[in-house]
Amino acid sequence: MPRSPIFRLALASLWNRRATALLTVFSIAVSVTLLLGVERIRTEARASFANTISGTDLIVGARSGDLNLLLYSVFRIGNATNNVTWQSYRDLAARREVAWTIPISLGDSHRGYRVMGTSSAYLEHYRYAGDRRLELAEGEPMAGVFETMLGAEVAKQLGYRVGQQIVIAHGLGTASFLEHKDKPFTVTGILKKTGTPVDRTIHVTLEGIEAIHADWQQGAPLPGQRVSAEEVQQRDLTPTAITAFLVGLKSRVATFRLQRAINEYPEEPLSAVIPGVALQQLWDLVGVVEIALLAISGCVVLGGLLGMLAAILTSLNERRREMAILRSVGARPWQVFGLLVSEAGLLAAAGVAAGFAFTYLALLAVAPFAEDAFGIVVRLRPPGTYDAIVAGGVVLAALLMGMLPAWRAYRNALADGLTIRV
């Protein structure tokens, strides 16, 4: 028995016009890549952000927008406008409903990575990605004034090992001119990779932060008042202020009450935010952009498909002879119809397949950059439901569009009969 000839003929005919066919496939592939890629980045960004902090009930900092507070305290994006005094921190941390607090002191950096002063509570209480806690890959937690604990990414990128000494720069940015050269820190431990901004953080003790600024005032060294590393350790290094602190409560029920109390704290203007709520604000903010991006991608896909339609329609006239030949050897009009529909389907399927390949290649290429610049960990997951819907949708749309030239070819085939007018 003859096998179904239409599909094979469609393939052979496309191969014969492979230059144009390839262009069509490419334009569909690019549009599909965009649609898949935008969604990938979107979900990866969300998952990555949502996984960065868990178990923390409130984030407290100087009065500012909720989002800003969340971004600088947890994601190391942006800066604090003001500090929280040590007294206020101690006062609030001592409240009955508070189970634990993690103080955070920011403002310095080392070769582009932010330095964060904190306490031993950090290792003990910080949680991410559900209920995972920070663990050391090697070495020990920092303890002394001039000891530091590095995030996995910092150690890897800069090639640092336990025992090494590093110098912290004042302020942020890679090219900081003012360095705390006289007070180097010794690496005592390196944290395991977490896929969160912790990986890109250099951790020191609050006392360490205090010590390097002992002979500084208002962002500059005090002239003629050098205090050596040995001398400074004799001083009282209790900080006067911190940037923010994370709060864990004994019972979640107390969250809103404590939040209100902090927001109305009489001693100084403070803000307390619930991480989930602030994240939701972030999603609301970027949601519009996401929808716009998806809409644009959708239009690009439509454009790709319309390009295909135009290519097939223009080819119809020069292929009238081909259709008539097929009918003369016994192809039914519906088979001529099927030939063109399957041609559209083949082009779209090839475009989708190439689009998937492009997407994964692009993700591979973008992943290191996304992690470096935004702390977004892009995992290479196998295609999911969304991808299947995109693939199916594009092919289906192509098949539907293919019906237009197919219908015209069908009409031509009936009208031309076997005499071919070219």
Partner 1 sequence: MSEPPAVVLSGVRYGWQPALPVVAIDELRIGHSERVFISGPSGTGKSTLLGLVGGVLVPQAGTVTILGTDLGALSTSGRDAFRAEHVGFIFQMFNLLPYLSVIDNVALPCRFSAVRWRRAVAGSGGVPAEAARLLGRLGLDDPGLLRRPVTQLSIGQQQRVAAARALIGRPRLVIADEPTSSLDANARASFIDLLLAECRDAGSAVLFVSHDLSLAPHFDRRIALADVNRAQADRRAA
Least CB distance from residue 350 to partner 1, whole Å?
A: 17
Q: Tokens 């960004």 appear where?
A: 45
Residue among 181, 385, 418, 421 that touches partner 1 (CB under 8 A) = 418
Distance CA 349, CA 93 (A): 60
Range list of β-strands (E), 269-409: 270-273
When binding is defined by CB under 8 A, the residue of 47, 98, 294, 420 that contacts partner 1 is 420
Of 339, 321, 350, the residue nearest 407 (C-alpha): 339
* 366: amino acid identity, one letter: V
Which of these segments, 2-10, 53-61, 170-178, 383-391, binds partner 1 (CB under 8 A)?
Answer: 2-10
Q: Does 365 bind partner 1 (CB under 8 A)?
A: no
CA distance 171 to 150: 18
Q: Which lies closer to partner 1 via its Cβ, residue 2 or residue 382?
A: 2
Helix (H, G, I), strand (E, B) or coil at 6: helix
Residue 242 backbone dihedrals phi, psi, to 5 degrees: -130, 170
Task: Give backbone dihedrals phi and psi of 180, rounded to 5 degrees, phi first.
Answer: -85, 65
Q: What is the DSSP letter of 1?
A: -
Structure tokens at 161: 């090992």
Nearer to partner 1, 338 or 375 (CB): 338
Segment contacting partner 1 (CB under 8 A): 41-49, 261-269, 303-311, 326-334? Answer: 326-334
Report the distance separating Cα 101 and Cα 248, nearest Å: 6
> Which x/- pattern, by CB under 8 A, does the window 16-45 give for partner 1?
x-----------------------------
Question: Which segment (127-135, 278-286, 327-335, 387-395) binds partner 1 by CB under 8 A?
Answer: 327-335
Q: Judged by CB under 8 A, which stretch of 4-12, 26-34, 109-117, 139-147 contacts partner 1?
A: 4-12
E strand or H helix at 343: helix 333-374
Q: Which of 335, 362, 393, 408 binds partner 1 (CB under 8 A)?
A: 335
Residue among 288 and 415 whose Cβ is closer to partner 1: 415
Residues 283-322 that bind partner 1 (CB under 8 A): 321-322
Q: Between 248 and 405, name the residue whose CB sits nearer to partner 1.
A: 405
Q: Which helix (H) or strand (E) holds 305?
A: helix 275-318
Comparison of 16 and 217: residue with beta carbon closer to partner 1: 16
Q: Which residues pair with 113 in a beta bridge?
A: 110
Tokens 């932010």 found at:
114
Residue 1 found at the interface with partner 1 (CB under 8 A):
yes
Are 118 and 104 a contacting pair, CB within 8 Å? yes
Does 12 sit near partner 1 (CB under 8 A)? yes
Among 163, 266, 330, 382, binds partner 1 (CB under 8 A): 330
Chain residues binding partner 1 by CB under 8 A are 1-3, 5, 9, 12-13, 15-16, 321-322, 324-335, 414, 417-420
